[in-house]
Amino acid sequence: MWLPALAGWSVVYRRAGGREVVFFAAALSCQAVGYTWDVLHMTAGKDAPRYSIAEGAYIAFYVLMLAALSVVIRTRLRGLAKIILLDSLVGALGAAAALLAVLGPKLVSVLQGPPSLGAAIDAAYPLMDLMLVAVVVGIAASGRSTSRGWWLVGLGLLAYAGGDVAYLLLEMNAVDFLDTTLVAPWALGNAMVGAWTLLQAHSAGPDVRVRISKSGQAVPALATSAGLGVLVLASQRPLMLPAVVLASLTLALAVVPLVFRQRLELSRANSQARTDDLTGIPNRRALYAAVPQQLTASGNQPSAVLLLDLDKFKEINDGLGHQAGDDLLRQVAARLSTQLGAGTLLARMGGDEFVMYAGSCGPREAQDMAVKIRTALAEPYSLGGITVHVNASIGIACHPEHGRDLDVLLRKADVALYSAKSTRSGHALYVEDPANAALQPFCSLQTLNDALSNDQLVLHFQPKVEPETGRVRGVEALVRWEHPALGLLQPDAFLKYFQEAGLMPALTNVVLIKALDQAAVWASGPQHLSVAVNVPASSAMDARLPDQVAAMTRARGLSPSMLVLEITEDVLVADRSRACTTLSALREMGVRVAVDDFGTGYSSLSYLRELPIDEIKLDRSFVSAMMDDERATALVASTIHLAHSVGLEMTAEGVEDERAYRALREYGCDLVQGYFISRPVPAEVLDTWLSNRNPEQSPDGKVTSAGFPK
């Protein structure tokens, strides 16, 4: 009897099990104490007192077992406790009714004699056994995994119940229990419960999913059958009144679990709809269900939205496998949950993006929180035996100064996140540009949508010229906004508002349509000009972009080689792997790819070798300083040589005068564009310029400025 108890305490000593193992070990110890007390009296030839330490130990056994099962229900079966306890009550009532019906005649003969507390206690033991069995069956029938070997506990309790029923029958027939071999059921029950505690030392832990299966009806169904059987039997022959009463209560209460179970199903469905399956934290739907109400209720009280994105997550996901990526996301979610206070809502938006909404939190507190979070996430992670380090970038937007709507705050936090990634600062607070603050009232979400749907966006085109020949080989399409109240706006004045509103993909789509429409017009005439379009990071990462471009060019009968997509270096810094996948697909169909504003970013030059690009565009800041700064001149010349050495074309932007034009030609620059050649102009103006232009070339290769209107 002591061996299972010692096994349980060994698991407790190794801290390999939960609190329920402590209760199980204590219960087994009480069982062993009671049995030892009885055996010592028997070997001494003495009659054990009817109410002794043994009796108290046996009762304590049931109390501790019930406590252990309560811990299991509360800690491992959150959300199911009420329904399981109700099922168990119904099962216990049904079992008691059946037991009284079977043992009724014997109990009647006992009860007709002098009142006996001992007989009542003996009768209570099997009832308590059956109640514990009902709880275990209720847990198992709920369809929720709790731990390995749970069936051992159920079989052990059934063994106890069998021994107690047999003891009661023998007691009623005046048979000395200790002279029999019926101690075996209790020894078997102890062994099974002890074996279960040992399994916990090697258990991988409980299943965290909540799932109600059809077997969840098992306990109320069996109890109802038992209650009906007792009532049918009572209609044929007299039974004890308590048996009939218990059977009636069983049938009455059996209906309640069905109602509770339906309500639990609805609650579970609602909970699952708002819970992220992978990490177990709230999802996007939960965020939108809770935060708007809190923003409305907070009035002018400060709060903050923090948008977190893991750096280099795709490399880990692709390099170590999706299982490792999922494990990393679970560990990140766990660390975030530990770091955040009770007043902060954590949600997973999707992929490796997490959102935190912190109430009563100003800009300074939000930035302190970001630093704390990044420090916690920077600790190493173990993924399948491999240790990895992962950093995170966080964008912050604050209520009410940055907006009062969750969508607006998320968009501005996304802008701040983009800034944090571009500058590698780790976290960034959204900052309103003072130069454009006056435009904000004229750039509402409705106004931006009107610009997209009412054809208010127009394109101007700036030619790209071969300095060696003077030939116009292509143009760059630059978007303008014919604002109904403010007139023609330059991109710097409005692009940020489209970015904040999440409308950059829609804007890019409009620009692509207009640019390719114009390219088709030129292709049908004497001019065959390639058209370059700037593509933001969100589009460059979009796996749908190649199919979108293929459909657009096919519909206009254009070769994809007529299109040049310009991306910036920070796109490559943000997620080189995703960008490479999209750009490779575009290049395979013939689209050319150029890196704009070359030399202004912080990325490694390795992407010139690794990424699928055709052209780099030297930033205007180098060209403007070239004629007055020897170091700038050396940088321009060496950069052109570098581009050619890796098989790329070089385009120089911002060519403002003839001196720069000549110098770039001498250095071997492939294409130039700038005000010296032409400002960005509407297509019809460019057509007139192209038809009138006749650049003259002298024998020494000097191109005059004829036909180059300023």
- For residue 278, is it within any domain? no
pLDDT tens-digit profile of 139-160? 555 444 445 566 677 677 777 7
List the one residue out of 532, 503, 498 whose CA is nearest residue 516: 532
Domain count, the chain: 4
Note whether residue 420 is domain-resident: yes
Q: Is the pLDDT of residue 669 over 80?
A: yes
Lowest mean pLDDT among 474-488, 531-545, 575-589, 628-642: 575-589
* pLDDT value, residue 143: 46
Q: Do residues 48 and 41 touch, judged by C-beta distance below 8 A?
A: yes
Q: 336: pLDDT confidence band, cut at 50, 70 and 90?
A: very high
Going by the DSSP 8-state scheme, the letter that residue 575 receives in this structure is -
Q: What is the pLDDT of residue 555?
A: 94
Query: The CATH number of the domain where 297 resides is what?
Result: 3.30.70.270
Please give the pLDDT value at position 84.
58
Q: Does the pLDDT at position 443 exceed 70? A: yes
Q: Which residue is listed with tokens 């109700």?
A: 86
pLDDT at 7 over 80: no
In terms of domains, do 52 and 152 share one?
Answer: yes
Distance between CA atoms of residues 257 and 93, nearest Å? 14
pLDDT digits (tens, 9 = 90+) for 555-577: 999 999 999 999 887 666 556 67
Q: Tell me, what amino acid is at 401?
A: E
Mean pLDDT over each residue of the chain, to the nearest integer: 77
Helices (H), 180-240: 184-199, 218-236
Q: Distance between CA 43 and CA 26 in Å, rounded?
A: 26
Tokens standing for 152? Answer: 């051992």
Confidence of residue 494 (pLDDT cuts 50, 70, 90): confident
CA–CA dist 393, 416 (Å, integer):
10
- Angstrom distance (rounded) from CA 418 to CA 696: 47
The encoded tokens of residue 380 equal: 């190493």
* CATH code for the domain of 673: 3.20.20.450
Q: What distance separates the 2 farthest-apart alpha carbons in the chain?
A: 135
CA–CA–CA angle 34, 38, 166 (5° rounding): 85
Contact assessment for residue 373 and residue 379, using Cβ atoms and an 8 Å cutoff: no
Least confident of 293-297, 486-490, 705-709: 705-709
Give me the mean pLDDT over the 584-607 stretch.
Answer: 79
* Calpha distance 336→656 (Å, rounded): 52
**Domain residues for 382?**
284-431
> Which of these ranges, 111-120, 330-339, 650-659, 675-684, has the smallest mean pLDDT?
111-120
121 falls within a domain:
no
Report residue 104's pLDDT band, with 50, 70 and 90 as the boundaries: low
Mean pLDDT of 185-208: 64
Tell me: do 299 and 221 sit in the same domain: no
Is the Cβ–Cβ distance between 637 and 631 less than 8 Å? no
Take residue 478 and report the two structure tokens written for it. Answer: 């630059």
Residue with tokens 């209570």: 124
Residue 180 confidence (pLDDT) above 50: no
pLDDT at 52 over 50: yes
Backbone angles phi, psi at 532, to 5 degrees: -100, 135
Residue 477 falls inside a structural domain:
yes
Shared-domain flag, residues 195 and 217: no
| Residue of higher predicted confidence among 560 and 11 | 560
Is there a contact between 546 and 572 (Cβ–Cβ < 8 Å)?
no
Query: 470 and 378 share a domain?
Result: no
Looking at the fold, whether 69 and 173 belong to one and the same domain comes out as: yes
Three-class SS string for 456-520? CEEEEEEEEECCCCCCEEEEEEEEEEEECCCEEECHHHHHHHHHHCCCHHHHHHHHHHHHHHHHH
Is 517 inside any structural domain?
yes
Q: How far is CA 366 from CA 188, 340, 357, 394, 414, in A?
A: 59, 11, 10, 10, 15
698 vs 603, which has greater pLDDT?
Answer: 603
Instruction: Look at residues 273, 302, 324 and tell me which one is the last residue of a structural domain.
Output: 273
Question: Which residue type occupies 443?
Answer: C
Q: What's the pLDDT at 249?
A: 75
- Asked whether the predicted pLDDT for residue 434 surpasses 70, the reply is no
pLDDT confidence of 487, banded at 50, 70, 90? confident
Tokens standing for residue 361: 């939190």
Residue 2 lies in a domain: yes
Residues 589 and 656 grouped into a single domain: yes
- Same domain for 228 and 192: no
Is the predicted pLDDT of residue 394 greater than 80, yes or no? yes
34 and 98 part of one domain: no
Q: What is the mean predicted confidence (pLDDT) over 375-399?
A: 90
E-strand spans in 484-529?
487-489
Among 431, 465, 485, the domain boundary falls at 431
Q: Are residues 392 and 412 in the same domain?
A: yes
Lowest mean pLDDT among 31-35, 217-221, 677-681: 217-221
What is the pLDDT confidence band of residue 507, given thresholds at 50, 70 and 90?
A: very high
**From 124-133, 473-482, 699-708, the region with the lowest mean pLDDT:** 699-708
Strand, helix or coil for residue 296: helix
- Summarize pLDDT for 415-427 with one digit per residue, the tens: 888 888 877 889 9
Q: Are residues 526 and 586 in the same domain?
A: yes
Residue 125 has pLDDT above 80, yes or no: no
Look at residue 707 and tell me if it is in a domain: no
Percentage of the chain exceeding pLDDT 70: 69
Q: Region 190-210: what's the mean pLDDT?
A: 59
Mean pLDDT of 4-21: 67
Q: How far is CA 287 from CA 194, 267, 293, 362, 406, in A?
A: 45, 18, 10, 20, 9
Distances in whole angstroms, Cα of residue 682 to Cα of each of 479, 507, 527: 10, 18, 16
Q: Is residue 138 part of a domain?
A: yes
Q: Are 357 and 465 in the same domain? A: no
Portion of the chain with pLDDT greater than 90, in percent:
26
* Residue 244 pLDDT: 76
The pLDDT score that the predictor gives to residue 258 is 55
Please check the confidence at residue 176 and state whether its pLDDT lies above 60: no
The residue ranking higher by pLDDT, 86 or 97, is 97
Are residues 90 and 11 part of one domain?
A: no
Each residue's pLDDT tens digit, 225-249? 777 777 777 777 777 666 777 777 7
